[in-house]
Amino acid sequence: MSDDAIQKAADWLLEAYQTGKACEPVRDLLPEGDVDAAYAVQEINTERRLAGGARMVGRKIGLTSKLVQKQLGVDRPDFGILFDDMAIPDGEEVDTSSLLAPRVEAEITYVLEKDINFEKPTNSEVINAIAYATPSIEIVDSRVKDWNIKIQDTVADNASAVLYVVGNQKVKLDEFDGRMCGMVMESKGEPVSVGAGAACLGHPINAVRWLAEEMVQRGRPLSAGDVVMSGALGPMVGVEAGQVYEVRINGLGSVRAAFSV
Amino acid sequence: MSADIEKLAKIVYDAQINATAISQLSETESFTLEEAYRVQAKSIDMRLDAGEHRVGMKMGFTSRAKMIQMGVDDMIWGRLTNSMLVEDGGEIDFSKYVHPRVEPEIAYLLKSDLEGPVSTMEAWNAVEAIAPAMEIIDSRYENFKFTVEDVVADNSSSSGFVIGQWCFPEIDISNLGMVMEFDGRAVQIGSSAAILGHPARSLATASRMVAEDGEKLSAGDIVMAGGATAAEALYEGVSVRNSVEDLGFCGFGVSK
């Protein structure tokens, strides 16, 4: 694989992010099916954002639903980096015009209190590293035109991450049922997406364990204080300007993403 | 000219009893939604005359998405008889259905009557117990295709129901996670919130709707709140389970 191609893909995505004009799929630049090449693209732009003063505050896990994996022809999740400048406080209005084709997803977010910097962590070790859980909404957006994405495009594009809203509650893991907890996202008083914890790889902790192992292998291990958005509990929903999306997760409380007209 | 209720009722009754697929009634007959409910009532009367007895009601089209999909602006309902009850942990005979599907639900057991329009609060006060449940829907129409009048005439596709252990309604049921599994693998995942945003609204709506056709909900009745996810097609030999957060689970098998 050519470093030039990886650099070019990173440049396309960065330009799309900065100008607000979506780019063509970057998969055409990369060796077909090479997900590591796509992560190399992501890493270039991660380094650029860090050099620009952004702070890494966590990770997001994507492709945690069997159905979505099938649609993209993959058998495992992917991840992206969460930076401080992507965080939106609960209910604070998001400037819709700054986004291309945003969608929202309801997720459980876990905040760590211990590092996970060893090979092949187990679920029990991951659970012991988690301080608390909280409800959250991930706002995803694709820098690739019309969401015409395959696995390499979304991985290169920081797993389509753009903004996120994390709840203000701190809920201990023994206070709710991670597998069975119901999830409903409402807009204008109507359910627009529903699901449960099991929709995320059978249990969201399974996704966090996958991430913890992956991050050790890729040289950015999870550490105390990291925010981990574990993956969608129901179908993603296209954002309508002017709407407020409220997510309730049973046992965790609620959180809102509001979009300007 | 008004529809021949008796004739249409006999057609759906025969299809239900013999598990045979029929053409849509609306292809050859013109009848209103109100007449469709009369066809349903008449066909159930035929079943009661044959020895079945009524045990409750079921609600259908309880998600807004499904109402929009079907081009209707209200829920539909059907009648449950004792012969439709499938024992929790039991087995159904696949040959007694046309093309059955199953959907995860919750069920109510009433401790007092509900008659006519009631508030959600009044409806909730009439609840003795709630349980994890599943409904087996089996449209008698070819290819599961129908108009809203067709499906109502066909008892809103109801053909079977399974109920888990009754629980006392002391918990918040507005957003209970539901996982329906086939042979241990999740096939539908949802929440009770999909049922009109709150399943208690479905019970209040049931009281209003059945009254429009001169019926009421009585103490001891079972009311199925409506599907919380899309329905899943059943096949021979599959083992089905629905788990509901905080309520437990129920299950059944399909004969080989």
Tell me the DSSP string of B120-177.
HHHHHHTEEEEEEEEEEE--SBGGG---HHHHHHTGGGEEEEEE---B-S-S--TTBE
CB-CB neighbors (< 8 A) of A179 in chain B: 177, 179
Q: Which residues of B touch A182 (CB under 8 A)?
A: 175-178, 190-193, 245
Is the pLDDT at B71 greater than 90? The verdict is no
B90-110 burial by CB neighbour count: b if 16+ within 10 A, else e? Answer: eebebeebbbbbbbbbbbbbb
Q: Is residue A35 one of the residues assigned to a domain?
A: no
Nearest chain B alpha carbon to A67: B187
pLDDT tens per residue across span A112-131: 999 999 999 999 999 999 99
Whether pLDDT at A163 is above 60: yes
High-pLDDT (> 70) share of chain B, %: 98
- Interval A203-221 mean pLDDT: 97
**What are the residues whose beta carbons fall under 8 Å from the beta carbon of A82, sequence distance 6 or more?**
A56, A57, A58, A59, A60, A161, A164, A227, A229
Say if A24 falls within a structural domain: no
Instruction: Find, in chain B, the residue whose alpha carbon is nearest to that of A252.
Output: B175
Helical (H) or strand (E) element with B105 = strand B101-110
B193 Cα to chain A: minimum distance (Å): 6
Top pLDDT among B163 and B1 is at B163
Interface A-B, measured as beta-carbon pairs within 8 A, has a size of: 77
The verdict on a CB contact (< 8 Å) between B176 and A195 is no
pLDDT greater than 90 at residue B70: no
Determine the residue of chain A that is closest to B198 in CA distance. A191
pLDDT digits (tens, 9 = 90+) for A58-98: 999 999 998 889 988 899 999 999 999 999 999 999 999 99
| Mean pLDDT value across residues A239-261 | 97
Residue whose token pair is 């709506």: B205
Q: Name every chain B residue with its beta carbon within 8 A of the beta carbon of A194.
A: 190-191, 193-194, 228-229
Q: What is the CATH number of the domain that holds A100?
A: 3.90.850.10
CB-nearest partner of A196 from B63, B172, B179: B179
The residue range of the domain holding B81 is 5-254
- Segments forming the whole domain that contains residue A66: 56-259
Mean pLDDT computed over every residue of chain B? 94
- State the pLDDT at residue A139: 98
Chain A contact for B247 (CB, 8 A cutoff): no
Q: Which of A250, A252, A254, A255 to mutate to test the interface with B (most CBs of B within 10 A)?
A: A250
A183/B175 Cβ within 8 A? yes
Q: Domain for residue A160, yes or no?
A: yes
The minimum CA-CA distance between B248 and chain A, rounded to whole Å, is 10
Report pLDDT for B32: 95
Q: What is the pLDDT of residues B105-145, one digit of tens each?
A: 999 999 999 999 999 999 999 999 999 999 999 999 999 88
- What pTM, to 2 d.p., does this model score? 0.92
**Confidence class for position B63, pLDDT limits 50, 70, 90:** confident
Over residues B5-32, the mean pLDDT reads: 95
- The SS3 call for residue B12 is helix
Q: Tens of pLDDT along B215-243?
A: 999 999 999 999 999 899 999 999 999 99
Chain A interface includes B7 (CB < 8 A): no
C-alpha neighbours within 13 Å on the C-beta side of residue B100: 26
Q: Read off the pLDDT band of B10 (50, 70, 90).
A: very high
B189/A191 touch (CB, cutoff 8 Å), yes or no? no
Beta strands in A28-160 (DSSP E): 56-62, 78-83, 87-88, 93-94, 103-112, 130-140
pLDDT (0 to 100) of residue B65: 66
- Please answer whether residues A16 and A143 qualify as being in contact, where contact means their C-beta atoms are separated by less than 8 angstroms: yes
The answer to whether residue A8 is domain-embedded is no
Hey, of A64, A108, A184, A186, which one would you mutate to test binding to chain B, going by the most B CBs within 10 A of its CB?
Answer: A184
Average confidence (pLDDT) over A200-227: 97
Number of domains in chain B: 1
At A142, phi and psi to the nearest 5?
-110, 130
> pLDDT-derived band of residue B68, with 50, 70 and 90 as boundaries?
confident
How crowded is the C-beta side of A115, counted as CA atoms within 13 Å? 6
Residue B1 confidence (pLDDT): 58
A5 touching B (Cβ < 8 Å): no
DSSP string, A68-100: HHHHHT-SS-EEEEEEGGGEE-TTPEE-GGG-S
* Interface confidence (ipTM) of the complex: 0.89
CATH number for the domain that contains residue B29: 3.90.850.10
Q: Kindly report the nearest CA distance between residue A65 and chain B, in angstroms.
A: 11
Q: Is residue A33 part of a domain?
A: no
Residue B174 structure tokens: 């507005």
Q: Is residue A13 part of a domain?
A: no
- Across the range B59-73, mean pLDDT stands at 77
Number of domain units in chain A: 1
| Model confidence at A1: pLDDT above 80 | no
Query: What is the average pLDDT across A54-60?
Result: 98
* Residues of B (55-74) whose Cβ lies below 8 Å from A: 63-64
**Tokens describing residue B157:** 């596709």
Residue contact A196–B246, C-beta within 8 A = no
Average pLDDT, rounded, for chain A = 96
Strands A190-196 and A182-187: antiparallel
- Percent of chain B at pLDDT above 90? 89
Asked, for residue A27, whether it belongs to a domain, the answer is no
Give the per-residue pLDDT at B2. 77
Do A49 and A42 contact (CB within 8 A), yes or no? no
A199 touches chain B (CB under 8 A): yes
* Residue A140 phi, psi dihedral angles, 5° rounding: -105, 155
B14: number of Cβ within 10 Å: 14
Report the pLDDT value the prediction gives residue B74, as an integer from 0 to 100. Answer: 78
A44 alpha carbon, distance to own chain's centre: 18
